[in-house]
């Protein structure tokens, strides 16, 4: 495994942002954006797949990991602006971007607001947001809000992985940053819920690959097809049987395809 450099920068408004960089310094850059209420640890089990070919960059969203402080009004656009500052600080002018779940929402805004910075884009298990998106089944939202403790963890785990996934929930890096306060978690929930890139998606000029599992109840696969329709010249790859964590469970199939796409487009 590559040695990972860790540093903390001060953002435009004084907020501390924790950054993690690994992979060959001379290699093309790849910015990895995690899901809602998660730090860079979201990528811990997957990062090594990309490090031989890319200089991988992550940062902890505000309210997660090492990026802690008083939270102001936040959005996927403000997180995209944070990402641009992170790239500035580590000296990267142009990067490939791979965002999953809420990270895919942030990635959409980064590609729309900072088009010159994004050389290639991969959007995983995400949504355009807004009234045109396809919402998760009502029962799923009700269960996530109602269940507590072990039951909540087990239910969330079942939304991410199929029964064939034998790793125990306590070892998953996708189920949330358990150091977050209730206030921080609520802020992230609002960020995801308020995302609406529908009108901006046709502006995206970066080569784009959309990947999704066809058994994703957390974020229905219909949203992948909407993104494909809205983003010019995009490609789409649907993973049969994949749930919200398909990109980890089926990494041996999915990551080679993503690497091939990124290597050609970055």
The answer for residues whose C-beta is within 8 angstroms of residue 127's C-beta and 6 or more apart is 104, 105, 133, 134, 195, 219, 223, 226, 227
The answer for residues whose C-beta is within 8 angstroms of residue 236's C-beta and 6 or more apart is 209, 210, 211, 212, 224, 225, 227, 228
What gap in Å lies between CA 229 and CA 189, rounded to an integer? 26
pTM of the entire predicted model: 0.97
Written as tens digits, the pLDDT of the chain (266 aa) is: 456 899 999 999 999 999 999 999 999 999 999 999 999 999 999 999 999 999 999 999 999 999 999 999 999 999 999 999 999 999 999 999 999 999 999 999 999 999 999 999 999 999 999 999 999 999 999 999 999 999 999 999 999 999 999 999 999 999 999 999 999 999 999 999 999 999 999 999 999 999 999 999 999 999 999 999 999 999 999 999 999 999 999 999 999 999 999 988 54
Number of domains in the chain: 1
What gap in Å lies between CA 89 and CA 72, rounded to an integer? 22
Please give the pLDDT value at position 215: 98
What gap in Å lies between CA 207 and CA 258, rounded to an integer? 12
What gap in Å lies between CA 244 and CA 240, rounded to an integer? 12
Please give the pLDDT value at position 265: 58
Cβ pair 151, 217 in contact under 8 A:
no
DSSP letters, 151-171, are HHHHHHHHHHS-TT--S-GGG
Cβ pair 56, 4 in contact under 8 A:
no
Q: Give the CATH number of the domain where residue 29 resides.
A: 3.40.50.1820
- Show the domain range for 198: 5-265
Please give the pLDDT value at position 201: 98
Please give the pLDDT value at position 2: 52
Please give the pLDDT value at position 1: 44
What gap in Å lies between CA 33 and CA 55, rounded to an integer? 14
């Amino acid at each position: 495994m590559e040695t990972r450099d860790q540093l903390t920068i001060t953002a435009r408004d004084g907020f501390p942002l924790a950054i993690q960089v690994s992979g060959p310094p001379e290699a093309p850059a790849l910015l990895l954006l995690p899901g809602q209420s998660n730090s860079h640890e979201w990528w811990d089990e997957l990062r090594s797949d990309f490090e031989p070919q890319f200089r991988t960059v992550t940062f902890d969203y505000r309210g997660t990991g090492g990026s802690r402080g008083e939270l102001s009004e936040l959005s996927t656009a403000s997180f995209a602006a944070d990402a641009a500052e992170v790239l500035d600080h580590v000296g990267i002018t142009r990067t490939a971007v791979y965002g999953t779940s809420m990270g895919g929402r942030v990635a959409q805004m980064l590609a729309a607001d900072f088009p010159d910075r994004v050389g290639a884009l991969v959007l995983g298990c995400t949504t355009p947001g807004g009234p045109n998106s396809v919402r998760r089944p009502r029962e799923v939202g009700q269960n996530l809000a109602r269940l507590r403790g072990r039951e909540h963890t087990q239910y969330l785990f079942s939304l991410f992985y199929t029964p064939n996934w034998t790793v125990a929930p306590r070892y998953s890096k996708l189920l949330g940053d358990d150091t977050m306060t209730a206030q921080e978690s609520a802020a992230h929930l609002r960020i995801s819920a308020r995302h609406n890139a529908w009108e901006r998606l046709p502006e995206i000029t970066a080569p784009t690959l959309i990947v999704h599992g066809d058994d994703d109840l957390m974020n229905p696969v219909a949203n992948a097809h909407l993104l494909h329709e809205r983003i010019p010249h995009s490609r789409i790859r649907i993973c049969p049987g994949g749930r919200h964590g398909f990109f980890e469970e089926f990494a041996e199939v999915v990551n080679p395809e993503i690497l091939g796409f990124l290597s050609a487009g970055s």
